Structure 1
Amino acid sequence: MMISRSDGFIASGSHRLLRALSCKLGVILGALCCFFSIPALAQSQNDSLQHFFLEQWTTRDGLPHNTINSIVQTDDGYLWFATWEGIARYNGRSFTLFDRSANTGLPDSGIFALHASSDNTLIAGGSRGGLVRYQHNQWTPLPVAGALVRAVLQDQQQRLWIATESAGLWRQEPDGRRYRISGSSGLAYEAMYSLAESQDGKVWVGTAEGLFLVHNNHVRHFQTVDGLPAGPVFSIAINLTEQTIVATEQGVFIGDEQHGFRPLHPELNMASSALYVDDSTLWVGTLSDGLFRYTSTGLEALGTDSNKPANRILTLRKDNEGSLWVGTNGGLFRLRNAPFTSITTQHGLADNFVRTVLPLSDGSVLAGTSRGVAHIRNQLAEPFDRPEPFLRESILSMAQDQYGQLWLGSYAHGLLTIKPDGSSRLFDRNDGLWTNEVRSILPAADGSIWIGTSRGLNRWHQGQMERLDMEAGLPGNYIMALYQTSDERIWIGTGTGVAYWQDGEIRTLDLFSQDGAEFAFGFLELPQQQFLWMATDRGLVRYDLNTGGLAIIGRSAGLPFDKYFQVIADQQNNLWLTSNRGILQFSLQDAKAVLNHQKSRLPFDHFSEGDGMLSAQANGGSNPAAALHPDGSVWVATAGGVVFSQPERLRSFSAFIPPVVIEQVRVDGVLRQPTGPLQLAAGTQRIELHYAGLGFVMPQHIQYRTRLVGFDSDWVERGQQPYAELTNLAPGHYTFEVIAAYPGGSWSEQTASLTFTIAPHLWQRQGFWLFILVWLSLAVLLLFKMRLRRLELAAFELKRQVAEKTAQLQLKADHLEQTNAEKSDLLEQLRLQSEAFAKQARQDPLTGLANRRVFDEVLLQEFNRAKRHQHPLCLALIDIDFFKQVNDRWSHSVGDEVLIRVGQSLQQQCRTTDTVSRWGGEEFALLLPETGLPEVLQLCERLRHQISQLDFSDIASELSITVSIGVAECSDSNEADRLLGLADHALYQAKEKGRNQVCVSP
């Protein structure tokens, strides 16, 4: 298609020549969730379509129907889609369906028209003339319109315009009165398609008989004499200069009521069905020719396969983040920016399976694929301009030496070197290579070339090919990575460890000591730092080049999986890790904090297919599998082409602050409306709140914070968790608040909140206890008076008897006084000694807790009681992590103090009915009768967190303690020893998974 420049709809109408340009891409509609970069003209100086990619949703992804009739976005941030099977609301993660029901009041699920007004109100119209209004989570039915509603519009005077299929055009006043609009020029019963209001309050109407304008009950029909073709007008848009643009069967026209209309662009002469004006851009959807974008710089096209039903575009809409949503009769599409851009076979690659990437000094990039080398310039690829058949084979490694000479390693044909003058030489087994499978190449500072193969290491130097293998000291012969550090050591990554070459000798590292790591896939040394970073099969390992110390960031620090291929540092002090399951990005500062034990978990962003990658599988075992481009972008070889990301551009995604909404509330499992204030019954145990940040570019990366006013003193970090659970709240008034942000972005200024009140039980009410207190006081007073009277009567008799026997008793008392005193002293001494011996026999002398003997007795007693009465009983075994290191590093006296403080912390958090004992060594046991597993897990998490926050600075400045906890519940266990075994097994699982966590026995 030739697209020439014509008069722009943005300007005042002056004719200007446009340069010819066309960019038409095929869209594979059958592949779900596949994204495409679209090389095209720039929309502005800083934004071009090559940064956009296309994705699709169908009924397989949650849509109720594949035909999308209308799209709007309400002020709260939700996207709404009208389909023939109801209205779908989208929050960036999932669709919520509203169809014909008593809740919505719709007479039919078929919805064609949607309109979002400025007061966060949604108006929907569809089959059988159905009309509803949605506001404040409530659906309100409106009087039916008598026929299919094709378009609705609420004007500046809050009047509702209703365009129908066969019942004409209606205007409903704010007071509910409704009038049919007609006129001498027509507009009686025509099939209508669209409505639009201009700034001066005039309403444009697109019908099957053309374009109409309604103002002050006057109707004007625009016909061929006004420059419009005969036939239907499917869509209407008004640009920034108040010109009206209409989509017809014969193309797109622009004009106004004074000067008439003219074709917008000679190439926009096809049947057009949808329009959307976005500042200086016009988007045009057609019935069979795909999507067009028209700007001051020209016209560009995104075509589709004409054999696919999705060629018919029905509606267009841009959301608050600048993404364009395209509704078709074959599904929903979105054209948007993404953190990553993919370069695939559509852009010139010979194959999408890319093993290695190499940025060149001229700004271009070489990509080694399974079918040869591609040269990428301006994000378009072409075959590398060398004639050798070698370059059409599978390429595993690439490098460029200090002289500009290229070195290319293949899977089966050896090593090819190409000089700047174009001359080349091939090295293979006949030249001394161990094998023709070359997986890594390193041009060293001394001019030598190191070559890593699947059977050993070669060194080409001064015309000689040397061989090194396990006999020379290598830990393995499968060489995957080579790297030279600033101290001129040559680092060698193999499938069984890491070694380095220095001064003619090979020395190995104990890589296996780092969580069993063996494979080393990539190396990185940062300028002016003393560390070498290694991507391994157990995480990211850091090696101190000065001291030789090793440390690892792995699963125990929060990494989601084990194996990583390449580590890259960008210009913003972030590290990037590639893997089979996506790409991780995190700050170098956070990585250092984890390795220095200042943080226990590593915050990171995880990028995959949802972020612009055709495949999340980043390839490894070849080098370089990822690289930093001189312009600061990060390039990665994947199974779905070459992907790249400009870290600076990531800030633009974080700049948008996603609005946040509370979507769902469940109270003790019962669904409630998420609008407050909620009055909750006494004894409410569990409140679940589900919320969503309404950001659509990177919804899976949105972070959340929550705060329960009346309970929390500060915001609680929720990470990417879109829900919160509140349990066992005391009666009272609460307000739950939630805010959201993209990683690195600002938090929501407006919180989503829900106020609720939990009623107290009768005995929890203040008046109840006041009544009880008054009643008891009166009863006590009455009893006191009755008793006092009886005592007065008995007092006289008592005095007489006392006087009579006083003399007799005085004699005996004098005799027994001394004897009784001696006996009392002896008995008191025996009692005190007995109590001391009993206490020593049942108490741990160090911590003061119950000892193992007491715990065994209580366990048997409580276990039998729980079984007999079918009451809950849980057991938790608690072990101090790495306690031996405390004794070894700080002394046993410090270790004893740690045991005492941990025991005190456990005792403080437990009830008087619970039994806390020192089980032995650094282990403690906690027995919790009458307590179910959910409450025990909550208690254990609280204990684990509290212990990790204990301050030992008064005895050891760098000392911090964590614990691992195993929990078991008395359910199917028939013996108390079985319960102990289950808890011990859960404790072992907690240790095996990395410690500092709570595990439950299955």
Structure 2
Amino acid sequence: MMRQLSIICSFFVMFLCEAQEQTRLPLSDYFSETWNTRSGLPHNSINSVTQTQDGYLWVATWEGLARFNGQEFTILTRAHINNLPDSGLRALTPTQSGGLYIAGSRGGISLYQHRQWDTQRSASTMVNHLIESADKSLWLALENDGVFYREHNSDTDLAIIKNVSAYRVIEDSDGVIWAATSAGLYKIDNKIPTLMTPHFGLPNAPVYNLLITRGGSLIVGSEKGAWIKINSQFRPIHEQLANESISSLLEDNHGDLWFGTINKGVFRLSPDGVEQLDAKNGLPANRILSLLQDRENSIWIGTNAGLFRLRESPFSLWTHKRGLAGDYTRTVLSHSDGSLWVGGSSGLNIIKNNRAILVSGSKQSNPYSILSLHEAPDGSVWAGTYTSGVLKVVNNTFTPFISRSTGLGSNEVRALLFDSKNRLWIGSAMGLTRINEDGSLEQFTNKKELPSGFILTLSEDNAGNIWVGTGNGVVVFDIVSEHFTTVEFPREFSAKYAFGFYIDDTYTWMATDRGLVRYELKSGKMAMLGLEQGLPIDKLFQVVPHNGSFWLSSNRGIIQIDKNHIQQILDAPANAKTPVLNYQLYDEGDGMLSAQANGGSTPSAVTHHDGSIWFATAKGVSTVKPARLKASTQIALPTIIENIFVDGKPIALPLEGESVFLPPGVSRLSFHYAGLSFIMPQRLNFQTQLKGFNDKWVNRQHMTGAEYTNLPPGEYTFMVRASYPNAHWQDNQQAVNIVIQSFFWQKPQFKFAIFVLFLMVIFAIYKYRLYHYKKIEIELTNRVEKQTQDLQTQANAFAYQATHDQLTDMPNRRAFDSWLAHNFATYKQQNRPLAIAILDIDHFKRINDNWSHIVGDKVICTIADLLKDGCQENQHIARWGGEEFTIVFADKTAGEAKMICEALRESIAQHDFSAIGEGLSVTASFGLSDSTNVGDYDRLLSRADQALYKAKNSGRNCTEII
């Protein structure tokens, strides 16, 4: 039996290898994340998880459906899905046309397509799973009732298998339906079921899940292990899975198989063997309900305690759990033989062939604390320690070489360098020691040659000069003159510590405590990239170049910046606008256990021969493969317009090809969108364009919304596209057409009518002028009569002046009192309402004092004009005196008159008085009363006056009623 299993395993491993030859990560290298109800999910039992063609991730729970865009969950329950009998969901099945079937409790079934829900007739009991077959018919796996067939466009369910619990159905390439049930595996051919008895190789046990691989093999997950169909027989996939209860199945992009179990977590079968991931290693729970690999190749695991994801994060880790001597690492060295050396406070490891080997040797039974590493020209490795000087590694064992007792300035060694003349330079806490080829020692200290005895880094340029980074600046040892020259940082840099160098043909790049310093070798000119230029942190430890980018280590993570972009910023003219610094900061969210990348010893970061970059951190050594990071940005990135808000209120999104018609007067239009990346949603960049308003793409950076105000009527097309960081814009733009309709007076017909009316007015003026000349002729003949009438006219003028205000030409207080006294009794007798308002210009004295009385008079006249324009014929206006006016509202109550007063008050407050006086703004207060409960007009005036005082005391610029 064991031999047979071995043959099956070998066959399957060969199948996996042929299926996919891509490099896979060990499970320990995946970056994991968990979501639960605290993260926005409606329930922690993740019954199903899937991804639709538009890029959304969908999660089925007992309390509804969750749609995930990478940043937030949108919850949908039966309150949002019409006619769904219950919010509890068990199954999610995408369709070939881009739709999504959901099914679950009480037999509920609904299809989501074109942003609409089509709830269909419920099944007889809970739906555990369903599929849409090639002929568009539905196959339903029901709890306790069995398997049912529902023909396309039919509400009738045909029972195929009865009186069992069916858990999953699947269709193979021959159109055969396979059903996983509590009675075992059924094969359904032409609607005729056949139970796959032990005669076919399967155990007599319930079957929970099924999978057809890309190669066409049928995989069966049962209560008694996982099985594969070979020809007409079923064979165990792997002996390690023989006794596991398999609840979920998945084939990933490598061709590896993932097995979710009822109580043992997840197993992965690959050519590397079987790996297990359970609650001890980070899973929320060991009961697995669903598995999915999304289009970004992340693995989603649904448990009964939340949603768990494994993804190939930018950074992977080597820690104590993977074999390192300790988690606190200080230095990392890429050896010419392909190995990787990692030193830290607990010793030194060699990583080779995906294994960490500990270098043996200790001091007084305590491990050496390794600060620095260096490979000599002969391939030997030398280690600088914290308390034991310099060691040499021979046959994976430490051999003491030099310490303070044998001539070294200090046992704390942070930098080592073999120069081109095969001399060993040792940077310690007490200066610089050089060991010549003949074994003689030379000491350089801060007493003479160095600005500081604390040496942090050493490097040799192409000319053979030695660059020394210290705790107080940089010096260069000239290979010709054999003397040190100090590199003076400009005072405005405020830099002191030099932690690391990168030297190319033109520049020396220095990682300092104030940023990245560029030193031009020929001219000695320096420039700095620091906080002022946009760096998120100014203390940098190491500069690692890779494919046109600089990778900078810091205590807050790893910063990646394009080298040409740095040059562009540093070379920008002093009076020019500095470009915005574009960078990526990687930290714990990208796979690092700690964002604290250690520095102060070298090398603390290095490029390896396989293109990976390694960083020593406070929690292990972190490694990133830029090629993998770049590959992740090549994955298709769907862009979705999720919401449209009109004046703050959401509207329904249009179907494809349709337009949104908005009413006239829309003042604010906003769009909310998302890029459906689940690996780096916070880092996505967006551009938007509103055709018809601005035909250029507008950079929105990481913003997921765009707003437009006061758009004129017309047709617009809003477009948005997304890109990964440091990647080109993909052809993924989404668009929606918007039509803002016009008021009648904004339409061309109305404007044409106004133009015609204007011509008519001009013609009327012309005719009037002709008439006017004729009239003058008549007036000449009647002058005598006119002169006779002048005396009467003058008498009328005197009478008019007695009742009208000279400044505003409005009725004065005498006329107002006369009218009120004459008409008040009539209105009371006829039981008709009469309202009176008294208006007072606010702070009028301040206007006279600050702008002059002439300006004050102009203000009074302007307000008089505004009152005339805003009042009707039956509303009598008078200048009451000074800055006060009165208004009589015939047949109006105080409440009705208040609306008119408010309109007048707003027209005054909004009027532009700048033509009268620069910076001048005017408001007015209104006191209002009516004749409802008043017996005489004096009392009515008194009440209006009281209301005015109330308005003044209420802060002015308001209307009060008494």
Post-superposition Cα deviations, 1:873-908, rounded to whole Å, max 9, x if no partner, equal xxxxxxxxxxxxxxxxxxxxxxxxxxxxxxxxxxxx
Query: Does the aligned pair in 2 maintain the 1:407–1:415 contact within 8 Å?
Result: yes
Question: Which runs of no fewer than 5 residues in structure 2 stay unpaired?
Answer: 784-846, 860-911, 922-962
1:649: how far off?
A: 3.1
| SS at 2:241 equivalent | coil
Query: Does the aligned pair in 2 maintain the 1:254–1:262 contact within 8 Å?
Result: yes
Q: For residues 640 and 172 of structure 1, what CA distance do their matches in structure 2 show? A: 57
- Compared CA separation, residues 163 and 418, structure 1 to 2 (3 A): closer
1:345: how far off?
A: 1.7
Paired amino acid for 1:688: S
1:465: how far off?
A: 4.6
> Are 1:413 and 2:388 matched, yes or no?
yes
1:5: how far off?
A: 6.8
Paired amino acid for 1:764: Q
Matched residue, 1:325: 300
| SS at 1:47 equivalent | coil
Post-superposition Cα deviations, 1:409-468, rounded to whole Å, max 9, x if no partner, equal 223333323457967225333344443332222233333333333444444445455444
Paired amino acid for 2:569: V
| SS at 1:472 equivalent | coil
Matched residue, 2:608: 629
Matched residue, 2:511: 535
| SS at 2:264 equivalent | coil
> Are 1:189 and 2:163 matched, yes or no?
yes
1:718: how far off?
A: 3.2
1:53: how far off?
A: 0.7
> Are 1:731 and 2:710 matched, yes or no?
no
1:538: how far off?
A: 2.4
Q: For residues 707 and 421 of structure 1, what CA distance do their matches in structure 2 show? A: 62
> Are 1:488 and 2:461 matched, yes or no?
no
1:125: how far off?
A: 1.3
Query: Does the aligned pair in 2 maintain the 1:43–1:49 contact within 8 Å?
Result: no
| SS at 2:731 equivalent | coil
Matched residue, 1:976: none
Post-superposition Cα deviations, 1:494-533, rounded to whole Å, max 9, x if no partner, equal 333222233343333332535422222110012xx22000
> Are 1:357 and 2:321 matched, yes or no?
no
Matched residue, 2:236: 263
Q: For residues 348 and 418 of structure 2, what CA distance do their matches in structure 1 show? A: 20
| SS at 1:350 equivalent | coil
1:611: how far off?
A: 2.9
Matched residue, 1:608: 587
Give runs of aligned pairs for residues 462-473 of structure 1, distance below 5 A.
Answer: 462-473=438-449
Q: For residues 448 and 274 of structure 2, what CA distance do their matches in structure 1 show? A: 61
- Compared CA separation, residues 929 and 536, structure 1 to 2 (3 A): farther
Query: Does the aligned pair in 1 maintain the 2:145–2:166 contact within 8 Å?
Result: no
Q: For residues 3 and 636 of structure 1, what CA distance do their matches in structure 2 show? A: 46
1:914: how far off?
A: 14
| SS at 2:541 equivalent | coil
**The one of 605, 618, 636 aligned to 1:657:** 636
| SS at 1:788 equivalent | helix
Q: For residues 67 and 733 of structure 1, what CA distance do their matches in structure 2 show? A: 47
Query: Does the aligned pair in 2 maintain the 1:7–1:16 contact within 8 Å?
Result: yes
| SS at 2:540 equivalent | coil
Matched residue, 1:516: 494
Post-superposition Cα deviations, 1:723-772, rounded to whole Å, max 9, x if no partner, equal 33333433221111122233455543342112112234454333333333
Matched residue, 2:541: 565
> Are 1:89 and 2:67 matched, yes or no?
yes
Query: Does the aligned pair in 2 maintain the 1:345–1:352 contact within 8 Å?
Result: yes
- Compared CA separation, residues 440 and 61, structure 1 to 2 (3 A): farther
Matched residue, 1:155: 133
Q: For residues 591 and 18 of structure 2, what CA distance do their matches in structure 1 show? A: 19
Matched residue, 2:669: 687
Matched residue, 2:274: 300
Q: For residues 913 and 172 of structure 2, what CA distance do their matches in structure 1 show? A: 73
1:677: how far off?
A: 2.4
Q: For residues 92 and 759 of structure 1, what CA distance do their matches in structure 2 show? A: 36
1:117: how far off?
A: 0.4
Question: Which runs of no fewer than 5 residues in structure 1 stay unpaired?
Answer: 10-14, 20-39, 802-856, 869-912, 916-926, 931-1002
Matched residue, 1:233: 207
Matched residue, 2:222: 248
> Are 1:579 and 2:554 matched, yes or no?
yes
Q: Write out the 4+ residue segments of structure 1 that deviate beyond 6 Å after TM superposition.
A: 2-5, 40-43, 306-309, 420-423, 796-801, 927-930
1:149: how far off?
A: 1.8
Q: For residues 531 and 620 of structure 1, what CA distance do their matches in structure 2 show? A: 22
- Compared CA separation, residues 436 and 281, structure 1 to 2 (3 A): closer
Post-superposition Cα deviations, 1:814-847, rounded to whole Å, max 9, x if no partner, equal xxxxxxxxxxxxxxxxxxxxxxxxxxxxxxxxxx
Query: Does the aligned pair in 1 maintain the 2:362–2:368 contact within 8 Å?
Result: no
> Are 1:201 and 2:201 matched, yes or no?
no
**The one of 683, 687, 703 aligned to 2:685:** 703
| SS at 2:674 equivalent | strand
Paired amino acid for 1:791: Y
Query: Does the aligned pair in 2 maintain the 1:41–1:48 contact within 8 Å?
Result: no
- Compared CA separation, residues 626 and 928, structure 1 to 2 (3 A): farther
Post-superposition Cα deviations, 1:107-128, rounded to whole Å, max 9, x if no partner, equal 3332211111011111111223
| SS at 1:561 equivalent | coil
Q: For residues 300 and 592 of structure 1, what CA distance do their matches in structure 2 show? A: 49
Give runs of aligned pairs for residues 328-477 of structure 1, distance below 5 A.
Answer: 328-386=303-361, 392-418=367-393, 424-461=399-436, 462-477=438-453
> Are 1:553 and 2:529 matched, yes or no?
yes
Q: For residues 331 and 259 of structure 1, what CA distance do their matches in structure 2 show? A: 38
Q: For residues 392 and 65 of structure 1, what CA distance do their matches in structure 2 show? A: 49
- Compared CA separation, residues 648 and 760, structure 1 to 2 (3 A): same
Q: For residues 313 and 334 of structure 1, what CA distance do their matches in structure 2 show? A: 13
Query: Does the aligned pair in 2 maintain the 1:384–1:391 contact within 8 Å?
Result: no
| SS at 2:285 equivalent | helix
Query: Does the aligned pair in 2 maintain the 1:6–1:18 contact within 8 Å?
Result: no
- Compared CA separation, residues 453 and 316, structure 1 to 2 (3 A): same
Matched residue, 1:851: none
Q: For residues 42 and 48 of structure 1, what CA distance do their matches in structure 2 show? A: 14
Matched residue, 1:57: 34
Which 10-residue stretch deviates more, 537-546 or 483-492?
Answer: 483-492
| SS at 2:679 equivalent | coil
Matched residue, 2:119: 141
Matched residue, 1:118: 96
Q: For residues 313 and 323 of structure 1, what CA distance do their matches in structure 2 show? A: 17
Matched residue, 1:977: none
Paired amino acid for 1:227: G
Query: Does the aligned pair in 1 maintain the 2:121–2:155 contact within 8 Å?
Result: no
Paired amino acid for 1:517: A
Q: For residues 564 and 608 of structure 1, what CA distance do their matches in structure 2 show? A: 15
If you compute each CA radius of gyration, which structure gives the higher value, 1 or 2?
2
Give runs of aligned pairs for residues 668-683 of structure 1, distance below 5 A.
Answer: 668-675=647-654, 677-683=659-665
Post-superposition Cα deviations, 1:206-247, rounded to whole Å, max 9, x if no partner, equal 111112233433222222233222231100112345443211
Paired amino acid for 1:79: L
Paired amino acid for 1:752: Q
TM-score scaled by length of structure 2: 0.74
- Compared CA separation, residues 714 and 267, structure 1 to 2 (3 A): same
TM-score scaled by length of structure 1: 0.72
Paired amino acid for 2:556: R
| SS at 2:163 equivalent | coil
Q: For residues 243 and 700 of structure 1, what CA distance do their matches in structure 2 show? A: 39
1:609: how far off?
A: 2.9
Would you say how many aligned residue pairs link Structure 1 and Structure 2? Answer: 779
| SS at 2:523 equivalent | coil
**The one of 476, 481, 484 aligned to 1:500:** 476
Matched residue, 1:804: none
Matched residue, 2:624: 645
Q: For residues 391 and 235 of structure 2, what CA distance do their matches in structure 1 show? A: 61
| SS at 2:695 equivalent | coil
Q: What is the RMSD of the two structures over their aligned residues, measured on CA atoms?
A: 3.5
1:350: how far off?
A: 1.8
1:369: how far off?
A: 1.6
